[in-house]
Structure 1
Amino acid sequence: MKVDTGIAANDRSDIAEGLSRVLADTYTLYLKTHNYHWNVTGPQFRSLHLMFEEQYQELWAATDEIAERIRALGAYAPGTYAEFSKLTSLQEDNSVPSADQMVKNLVKGHEQVVKTARDLFKEADEADDEVTADLMVQRMQASEKNAWMLHSLLE
């Protein structure tokens, strides 16, 4: 059945592609954060372990919202590691980094999610897709806050 919500088909397609990139970045950051939660060591273990848990839970919930928005626009959401690895702009780790490096990596990851979401926000706003624009504002708010909290640990 054809989607007819007032957003042009080509705009819906472009926005769904952008959402797929945001989903891939968010899911990759979720995996990285969950990995760090499991493997962090050192004097800050307890506080980082708990902070990483809070953040990966928020990221996990966000992936569902983003994927459901893609579906509401009439496209299929990517859902495999192969698809995410092609779409994401984040780098995976080849080893378990130190606790400080984990924090630095997550700051960079959250900042990248903000950039990816900001790019899509502009596109959604131009297409009068307020729902996607609002979703991108939520992503930017959450990732900016998480980046700030993590960055504060490094000062």
Structure 2
Amino acid sequence: MPGDNATKALIDTLNGLLADYFALYIKTKNYHWHVKGPQFHDLHLLFDTQATELFALTDVIAERVRKNGGNTLTSIGAIAGRSVIADDDREGVDAMAMVAALRDDNAALVARIRAAKAAATEAGDNATEGMADDWTDQAQQRVWFLSSILG
């Protein structure tokens, strides 16, 4: 079965999602390390909690790729080439700009997760399909928390 087009498409979609999780993890840790201002303590802790959640799913997603007979990402370059999450290399980013960027990136992640779920459905991979619901819920919760900070 791993040779069929639906499974190949699922593997490709999952690797894109894996890249997004890694990129968003790094961006979230970047903001965790560099946040400043009156909400420093709360944002520092929130960003760390969210980064930990993101990183925890990288192995789960990579293992779904492997269980479907595919190969996972192998390098930072592979991650950069597949992710739709933009880097933020700026210094001195305003705390609320960080919150807004992470909100938007997590919302984009929801769309990518939904695409992975659709690909899993097409490939008949009900395990990935079910997991995608949990991944969506977690990403939507991050969007909600971040949106609530912005008012």
Q: Does 1:15 align with 2:39?
A: no
Match runs of 1:130-145 below 5 Å: 130-145=126-141
Q: Which residue of 2 aligns with 1:45?
A: 40
Q: Match of 1:124, SS?
A: helix
Match runs of 1:73-152 below 5 Å: 73-96=68-91, 97-152=93-148
* Deviation for aligned residue 1:135: 2.1
* CA offset digits 1:80-115 (Å, max 9, x no partner): 111111111111113031100000000011011100
Amino acid at match of 1:17: D
* Deviation for aligned residue 1:124: 1.2
* Deviation for aligned residue 1:79: 2.9
Q: Does 1:58 align with 2:53?
A: yes
Amino acid at match of 1:30: Y
How many angstroms apart in 1 are the aligned matches of 2:80 and 2:4? 26
How many angstroms apart in 2 are the aligned matches of 1:71 and 1:43? 44
Amino acid at match of 2:74: G
Conserved in 1, the CA contact under 8 Å of 2:116 and 2:132? yes
* CA offset digits 1:105-154 (Å, max 9, x no partner): 00011011100111121121122211111222121111100010011000
How many angstroms apart in 1 are the aligned matches of 2:12 and 2:30? 27
Q: Does 1:154 align with 2:147?
A: no
Counting matched residue pairs gives 150
* Identical positions, percent: 33
TM norm structure 1: 0.92
Ranges in structure 2 where 5+ consecutive residues have no aligned partner? none
**TM superposition outliers: structure 1 runs of 4+ over 3 Å:** none
Ranges in structure 1 where 5+ consecutive residues have no aligned partner? none
How many angstroms apart in 1 are the aligned matches of 2:147 and 2:132? 22
Amino acid at match of 2:89: N
How many angstroms apart in 2 are the aligned matches of 1:103 and 1:9? 41
Q: Match of 1:29, SS?
A: helix
Alpha-carbon RMSD: 1.3
